[in-house]
Structure 1
Amino acid sequence: MNDIAFKRHRRLRSSASMRALVRENYLRADDFIYPMFVIEGEGIKNEVPSMPGVYQVSLDLLLDEVKEVYDLGIKAIMFFGVITAKDEIGTGAYIDDGIVQKATRLVKKEFPDLLIVADTCLCEYTSHGHCGVIHENDVDNDESLKLLAKTAVSQAKAGADIIAPSNMMDGFVAVIRHALDEAGFTHIPIMSYAVKYASAFYGPFRDAADSAPQFGDRKTYQMDPSNRLEALREAQSDIEEGADFIMVKPALSFLDIIRDVRNHVQTPVVAYNVSGEYAMVKAAAQNGWIDEKSVVLEMLTSMKRAGADIILTYFAKDVAKWLKEEN
Structure 2
Amino acid sequence: MMQPGISTHVFLPQRLHPGLLDSLHKAGAQVIELFAARHHFDYTDRAAVRDIATWFRNTGVGATLHQPLYISDRADAQWSRHVAPNLNLIDPEKSRRISAMDEVKRALESAEQIPISACTLHLGYKDDAWNLRALENSLTAIEHLKAFAHPLGVRILLENLQNEITTPEHLLEILKVGHFDRVGVTLDIGHAHLAAPPIAASAASPTRASTKPSSSSSPASPSFTSTTTSAKKTTTSGPAPPESTGRMSRNTSPPSRPTPPASSRSPTNSKRPPNLPPPKPPRPSTSSNEPPKLPPRA
Q: What is the TM-score with the length of structure 1 in the denominator?
A: 0.39
Compare the two structures and name the one with the higher strand fraction: 1
Query: Bigger relative contact order, structure 1 or 2, given CA contacts below 8 A and separation 6+?
Result: 1
TM, length-normalised to structure 2 = 0.42
Structure of larger gyration radius: 2
